[in-house]
Structure 1
Amino acid sequence: MDEDKLKLAPIDVHKIIFRIGEVSKMTGVSPRQLRYWDQKGFIKSQRHDTSSSRVYTLLNLFRVGLIKKYLDNGYTLKAAVQKTNERQDMMETMHHFIYHSVSGIENIDGKLMINMGYFDKAKTSYLYGRLDENDETEYKVIPVDKLDHN
C-alpha cells in the first residue's frame, strides 16, 4: 500500500478516561475538590451508574488544569470557571476553523507549507502558510493554475 495514502483513524478523545485519583495526581486538585466542582457543574464526570467511580474525559482533564491554573493565579473559583469557559470557547472556535480550512501540507518551492484552502470566494487561488526558521509567519498566495497537483 502506498505510504502517502495511509490515513490514521482519528482518536475519539471522549473515550480517553481517567479515574478521579489519576486526575487529582496529574492536576494537583484533591479528589474532594473535584467532587465539589462536579457537584456544582464546573466539570462533568461520567458514571455508568450511581455506584461506579467518577471518571473524567481528556477534555475534562484539560478543564480541571485550566481552572487550577486560574485559581493559582489568584482568581476566585467563579472567575476561574468563567475564564476557563472563555478559553475553551476560543479554542473550540480555533479548532473548528482549522478543521474546516486546512487542506493538508504540501511542498511549495522546496518548503513544507500548510494549505489553508482557497484564498478567494472565486476559488482561483490557494493560501499557504508556514513558520520559517525564526518562527516568523510566512504566507504565499498561489493561483490554482500555477500549482502542480499530479
Structure 2
Amino acid sequence: MGLYAANKLITQARQLAAEYRRTMGKPLPGISNEIALHDGIHLLELEPADEGAVGYDAIDPARDGLKIQIKSRTIFDESKSGQRIGQLKVEQDWDAVVLVLMDESYEPFEIYEAERDDLLEYIDKASSSRAKRGALSVARFKIIGRLAWTREEGLEPEVWDNQAG
C-alpha cells in the first residue's frame, strides 16, 4: 500500500474515531495507538520496525538505529489531571519512548521523547506500585522527557537533528 493510501486511511480513522466518541460517549478501542504509530513515524521521520520486532515500534535511522517504543494519549479534557500512558515494556529491547499527544479530533499536538535510562531511573526510584510496573502519568513523562515536536513548530532541532542532508 502506498503512502497516499496510508495517509488517507489515517485521515478517515481520525474522523471515525472522533465521531464514534461523540456518538457513543467513549473512545473507539485501539484506534488512538494505530494513529499515534503512524503520526510518530511520519512526523519524526522514523522507519517502522520490522514485522515481528518485540518491544519497539520504530527505528531512527539518523541516530544509529535507535529503537523507539511509541505510546499515545488522546487528551479529551485538559482540566483532568492524572492521565496515564500505557505501561512501558521495561523488560524488552528499546532505547527510547515517544509519547504522541492527540486532541479530541485525534490530531497530534505534541510529541515527547524520553530515553530508556531516564525512564528506568525514575521507575527504580519511584515509590508507587504503578510506576514500578512501568505505568507513568503524562505529566511525569513530560518532566522526564523532552519536547520533540509541536503542531506549531514541527521538529525541535535540539532533539531531532535528522533534518540535515
Aligning the two structures, in what range does the TM-score lie when normalised by the shorter sequence? Answer: under 0.3
Bigger radius of gyration among the two: 1
User: Relative contact order (alpha carbons < 8 A, sep ≥ 6): 1 or 2 greater?
Assistant: 2
* TM-score of the two chains, using structure 2 as the length reference: 0.24
* TM-score of the two chains, using structure 1 as the length reference: 0.25
